[in-house]
Structure 1
Amino acid sequence: MSERDVTRGGEKGSRPGREAPTGAYAGRRRRRRGRGEQPMVPDASFSSYYGKPVLNKPTWKALDIAGYLYLGGLAGASSLLAAGAHATGRPGLAAPAKIGAAGAISLSLAALVHDLGRPARFLNMLRVFKPTSPMSVGSWLLMGYAPLTMAAAAVEVAGRYRLLGATAADLADRLRPVGSAATAAAAVLGPGVATYTAVLIADTAVPSWHEGYRELPFVFAGSAATAASGLGLVAAPTAQAGPARRTAVLGAALELGAFRLMKRRMGLTAEPFDQGRPRVLLRAAEALTAGGAALALLCARVPDRRLAFAAGTALLTGSAALRFGVFQAGVASAEDPRYTVVPQRERLAAKGG
């Protein structure tokens, strides 16, 4: 080839872009022709600098925050159950539900403050109200809900059990309309208290929480319902526990169905739910919830107090196992960069297509 063979448009007789393919396309061309050459770029490995994960895993204490998730759900659903029992004339179910709601929300707030380190940090969240922040909305929701449950429980204890003497009982009789109003108002806020924590954790960048944002509130709602019905079955007389039994069946169906649907839709980020400690906790939660609901149904035909106690204990334990399992799965997904990188690439590829 001489200098005259090379023109401004390239070499004479050549076909630019066809004879010298490069990059990944060239590798595919060569492999199709059977030459067996290996690609020059190795497959991507999901690692990061110095072996650190892409995301910082949640620094929340498992016992505090998972307990806060569980107790908040128990409190919110118990307020609904208490209002229903109060309205239908079932004092044996209404009383433990009111007291349980007040006790659960108190412990939930204590767990949250313990994780924050000091009470001032919780009070700082009340300086502003930001509707777009689940944490801000949840903080104000708790501040409105907790006093209502305590007022309802205090009137119930003083009036029904007469633990504080005749004077306090007479005062409780006068305040009974206030207790009824507090019970109704707590029931209005109860669904928000039971489910806002699902929105709170789904609003983070933790893959196995964030990708379940559609179904996770329904999972938490069902779990809260089973916990509240479990408390009712344990503490209420069998003859008045009908609403608790029905709530147990409906809550179990919602929890188990929504959780399975969530895992099916999440794809890769659902893997942490089926690995390690989360797998053990969530399998136990499924078995306990389904078994507790079945026993609750059986209690309707066999009014045995021991059977009701077993059903309630299974439902309470199953709900707790679900919250702790979801928490542990989220932490595990944040530690593995694969659950962050792969879904991002899939979304980018879908947008590009």
Structure 2
Amino acid sequence: MSGAPRDAVAGAGRRRRRGGRGERAMVPDAEFASYYGRPILKRPRWKALDIAGYLALGGLAGASSLLAAGAHATARPALARTAKLGAAGAVSLSLAALVHDLGRPSRFLNMLRVVKPTSPMSLGSWLLAGYAPLTMAAAATDVTGRHRALGAAATASAAALGPAVATYTAVLIADTAVPTWHGGHRELPFVFAGSGASAAGGLALAAAPAGQTGPARRMAVLGAALELGAFHLMRRRLGLAAEPYGRGRPRALLRAAEVLTAGGAALAASTGRRGRAPAALAGTALVAGSAALRLAVFHAGVASAEDPKYTVVPQRERLAARARDGDGDGGS
């Protein structure tokens, strides 16, 4: 008779130390699950390549418009053309990826039926609808050499919208209940801004003549520093919700992103005008690193939505903190 209870207790929990004595817990450790084993949050149904591509290409386009305006103003025509074509191509592909994920072009058009200031998706749709034609006009007038005044106005207007285009997707995903995305709402726009800048600078390094790539090189290096610095700050502040970045596919993608971005920035800073091959290699690494980071962010968010722990534990911690604050206020 004495052996059965002892075995049951031993299998039920782990040893805990209280007041210097070892005791066995009478209940098993809590497992964070929901009814029928389903996640608490609904898993994002977005297609990984479509939405990660939409995120990455939007950042590349917005930052390329800024680079194009700067190159245009400083009389670097080859760099300006590269950046204008990069912005037009990237935003076109970004829209194509979004429409492909939505399933039908009419669904994107339906989002333009109303303007909802409290909705990042609504404002983002209108932002893209205004920005995309500007980039195409800027690129078309540059290639044809006609209507230069119209092209200059389109270039400046696209550059004015560029920062919002590069960062609004961070606001869009942080506005969801997905723990890893929502928890990084303060830093994620800076991560995306840096990532877009490093990608735009990288594209220009890879495609423009070496003699005109000085601004692109500086943008790439500064963008990479902002991207990596803001991401590490975000990851530290996320606490438990940062765990998905250290596991599985997000971990591999994040490591690749860090190596490619840091390596590409270092190579870009050290090559200068010494040749096309090193600049092209640095630029390719920077564009690939930016894309890998967006994929890592996407997959980490999906993983955090699938595991109830990342929803339940932070909620309990916030409730406990509020209770402590309330007790402290009451005691004073």
TM (norm. structure 2) is 0.90
Residue in 2 aligned with 1:291?
Answer: 263
Unmatched 5+ residue regions in structure 1?
1-30, 160-171
Offset of residue 33 of structure 1: 11
Q: Which amino acid aligns with 2:299?
A: Q
CA gap of 1:38–1:108, structure 2 versus 1, over 3 A, is: closer
Q: 1:188 aligns with which of 160, 180, 199?
A: 160
Q: Which amino acid aligns with 2:199?
A: A
Residue in 1 aligned with 2:282?
Answer: 311
The 3-state SS of whatever aligns with 1:303 is coil
Report the Cα distance in structure 1 between the residues aligned to 2:281 and 2:232, rounded to whole angstroms: 25
Report the Cα distance in structure 1 between the residues aligned to 2:318 and 2:225, rounded to whole angstroms: 32
Residue in 2 aligned with 1:278?
Answer: 250
Would you say how many aligned residue pairs link Structure 1 and Structure 2? 307
Residue in 1 aligned with 2:301?
Answer: 330
What are the superposed Cα offsets for residues 114-158 of structure 1, whole Å, 9 maximum, x if unpaired?
Answer: 111111111111111111110011000001100000000110111
Superposed counterparts of 1:171-186, under 5 Å: 172=146, 175-186=147-158
CA gap of 1:35–1:184, structure 2 versus 1, over 3 A, is: closer
Tell which deviates more after alignment, 43-52 or 290-299. Answer: 43-52
CA gap of 1:177–1:33, structure 2 versus 1, over 3 A, is: closer
Offset of residue 49 of structure 1: 1.5
Q: Is 1:106 matched with 2:77?
A: no
Report the Cα distance in structure 2 between the residues aligned to 1:311 and 1:35, rounded to whole angstroms: 58
Q: 1:340 aligns with which of 295, 308, 311?
A: 311
CA gap of 1:38–1:206, structure 2 versus 1, over 3 A, is: closer
Report the Cα distance in structure 1 between the residues aligned to 2:238 and 2:302, rounded to whole angstroms: 16
Residue in 2 aligned with 1:149?
Answer: 135
Q: Which amino acid aligns with 1:276?
A: G
CA RMSD, 1 decimal: 1.4
Q: Is 1:95 matched with 2:95?
A: no
| Pair member with larger Rg | 1
Q: Which amino acid aligns with 1:304?
A: G
Residue in 1 aligned with 2:291?
Answer: 320
Q: 2:122 aligns with which of 136, 139, 142?
A: 136
Offset of residue 51 of structure 1: 1.2
Report the Cα distance in structure 1 between the residues aligned to 2:148 and 2:154, rounded to whole angstroms: 10
Residue in 2 aligned with 1:61?
Answer: 47
CA gap of 1:249–1:42, structure 2 versus 1, over 3 A, is: same
CA gap of 1:63–1:33, structure 2 versus 1, over 3 A, is: closer
Residue in 1 aligned with 2:201?
Answer: 229
Offset of residue 47 of structure 1: 1.2
CA gap of 1:211–1:35, structure 2 versus 1, over 3 A, is: closer
Superposed counterparts of 1:233-248, under 5 Å: 233-248=205-220
Q: Is 1:47 matched with 2:33?
A: yes
CA gap of 1:37–1:339, structure 2 versus 1, over 3 A, is: closer
Q: Identity percentage over the alignment?
A: 75
Q: Is 1:86 matched with 2:91?
A: no
Offset of residue 44 of structure 1: 2.1
